[in-house]
């Protein structure tokens, strides 16, 4: 019996600029993606009957809407394989937090099943299957830190310096569509170049154009940003939120910041764990140079 247990890493948007809008309503973006070692784990077991079985539950997500199931069926249709799979999923990445958890799970499904089934699609072919599943799915198949343009499909690999991140999850669910449709969203940010981005430390470059809208609409997020800033931690939002992150040169520094914030909460009598009213500290994470499964795909 053939089976795999494989990671699906989270991503951070180190900056996110909205530079325009197409006639079909899609927003034109510039952003930089980086993977971190905060990851979901997926389990794949081959089935000879052609069925795609889901051995897990996602609250509020029907099987027909599950990106993992959709990715598996998309690969079946594209290749004509009669093989199936039983799929398990252990979630660690916060859902709907701007960390790309669902997109990463879908990309890992394409990569792992392409190998498990021996369907032999190239990276570019898998990326073509990835885009209809969501704008962030292709970068996980691309497999490297990337400068992205367009609707997220125009990807250029970039070499980023070592860094670590402390991820914070505010107690808010942020619907992406509502943020992009907000009339106050900046949609005409000046375009930048890759050279512009690489010329400055990543923690100092640009901004997230979605962040002001989210801060205005969600007091849980603005409250977390304010509290953390008052206690020495400058954070930025990833994607459309609500998750926030702070960058550090090394993992020990990120861990120390996590410990200091936690201690401050305890002294204030607010908590006895990693929970604070309004947010929680998710994990101190290392920035990755590439996707853990990048070498599973023939270029």
Binding residues for ATP: 94-104
CA angle, corner 251, sides to 250 and 256, nearest 5?
A: 105
3-state secondary structure of 261: helix
15 and 207 Cβ atoms separated by less than 8 Å: yes
DSSP string, 44-84: EEEETT--EEE-S--TT--GGG-HHHHHHHHHHHHH----E
DSSP tally for the chain: helices H, then strands E: 9, 11
- Binding residue positions: 94-104
For residue 12, count other CB atoms closer than 10 A to its CB.
29
The one-character DSSP state at 7 is E
CA angle, corner 116, sides to 112 and 118, nearest 5?
A: 115
Query: Mutual orientation of helices 123-130 and 101-116 as an angle, nearest 10°?
Result: 140
In order of 12, 18, 39, 86, 174, the CA distances from 36 in angstroms are: 7, 23, 8, 27, 21
Task: Count CA atoms within 13 Å of residue 15 on its CB side.
Answer: 22
- Residues with catalytic function: 11, 136
- φ and ψ at residue 167, rounded to 5 degrees: -100, 135
Give the residue ranges of DSSP H helices in 34-181: 67-79, 101-116, 123-130, 137-142, 176-180
Nearest to 280 by CA among 170, 126, 136, 125: 170
């Amino acid at each position: 019996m053939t089976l795999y247990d494989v990671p699906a890493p989270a991503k951070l948007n180190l900056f996110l600029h909205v530079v325009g809008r197409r006639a079909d309503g899609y927003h034109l973006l510039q952003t930089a993606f980086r993977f971190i070692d905060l990851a979901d784990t997926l389990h794949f077991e081959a089935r000879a009957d052609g069925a795609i079985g889901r051995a897990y539950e996602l609250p509020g997500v029907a099987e027909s809407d599950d990106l993992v199931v959709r990715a598996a069926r998309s690969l079946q249709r594209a290749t004509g394989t009669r093989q199936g799979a039983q799929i398990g999923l252990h979630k660690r990445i916060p859902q709907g937090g701007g960390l790309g958890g669902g997109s990463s799970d879908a990309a890992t499904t394409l990569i792992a099943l392409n190998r498990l089934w021996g369907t032999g699609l190239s990276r570019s072919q898998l990326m073509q299957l990835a885009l209809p599943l969501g704008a962030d799915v292709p970068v996980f198949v691309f497999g490297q830190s990337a400068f992205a343009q367009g609707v997220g499909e125009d990807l250029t690999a970039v070499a980023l310096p070592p860094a670590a991140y402390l991820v914070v999850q505010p107690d808010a669910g942020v619907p992406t569509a509502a943020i992009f449709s907000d009339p106050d969203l900046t949609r005409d940010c000046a375009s930048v170049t890759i050279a512009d981005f690489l010329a400055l430390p990543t923690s100092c470059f640009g901004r997230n154009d979605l962040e002001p809208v989210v801060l205005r609409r969600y007091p849980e997020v603005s409250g977390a940003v304010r509290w953390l800033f008052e206690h020495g931690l400058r954070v930025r939002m990833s994607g459309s939120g609500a998750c926030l992150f702070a960058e550090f040169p090394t993992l020990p520094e990120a861990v120390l910041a996590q410990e200091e914030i936690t201690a401050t909460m305890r002294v204030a009598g607010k908590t006895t764990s990693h929970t604070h009213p309004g947010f929680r500290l998710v994990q101190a994470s290392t920035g990755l140079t590439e996707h853990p499964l990048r070498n599973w795909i023939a270029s």
